[in-house]
Amino acid sequence: PTSPRTPPLPPNLKTMAACAASSVAFRVAPRVGVARKANVTAKASRGGVVRVAANAEYKTQFVAPKDVKEHLDKGFTLVDIRSPEELNETGYKAAWKNIVLAIMDEDGEIQMNPNFLNQFRKEFPNSMSRILIACDDGSMRSEKASKAVVTKLGLTNVKVIQGGIDAYIEMFPLTKADKIKYRMADNGGDDLSTLVTGVDTRQPGQKFY
């Protein structure tokens, strides 16, 4: 049974999720000046993450919702690949990165994000970045996205949240504080030199370093 705190997605969003998972095709522009190695030995790291070779079979690594916080504390970033409609349906944490895998247009047609991999690479240029990927239920969409960023972009530490955002929110309901986005104030306040020596060393018009 579905928890009352996690309302089921409307049929059109469920359809979108299923279609996006079954029809996704990934392409990525080649990185200038970087040669790809044709054959890399596949091996498992101590954390259980498989480094996938070009000729090796990819295996998705899953993380239980109860272990998400531990991974985030260790430097993992949660990447929510759901559509804007799905985000509005359940809410989301401001700290999560949202890189949309697919959306449903006004005619009800599924439109894949052709820039998904390029956007992912821009956010995570380091192949050793620690990533947790999540869709609504942690199934085909997340698995395909995970496989793509590992095999196409060469990321080596990518895992999928088992049960997706729905399972995570059911276990850890979102709060108002989770949804707050913080930004730098227009005026940074007193300069550090003022606080330490009492003398403001900033140039005219300079607000903060």
Sequence-separated (6 or more) residues with CB below 8 Å from residue 53:
39, 40, 41, 42
Q: Does residue 126 carry a pLDDT above 60?
A: yes
Diameter over CA atoms, the chain: 64
Nearest of 8, 7, 9, 13 to residue 103 by alpha carbon: 13
Tens digit of each residue's pLDDT (9 = 90 or more) over 147-172? 999 999 999 999 999 999 999 999 99
Residue 66 has pLDDT above 90, yes or no: yes
42 is written with which tokens? 């596949």
CA-closest candidate to residue 157, choices 63, 65, 67: 63
Entry pTM:
0.65
pLDDT exceeding 90 applies to what percent of the chain?
45
- DSSP string across 159-170: EEETTHHHHHHH
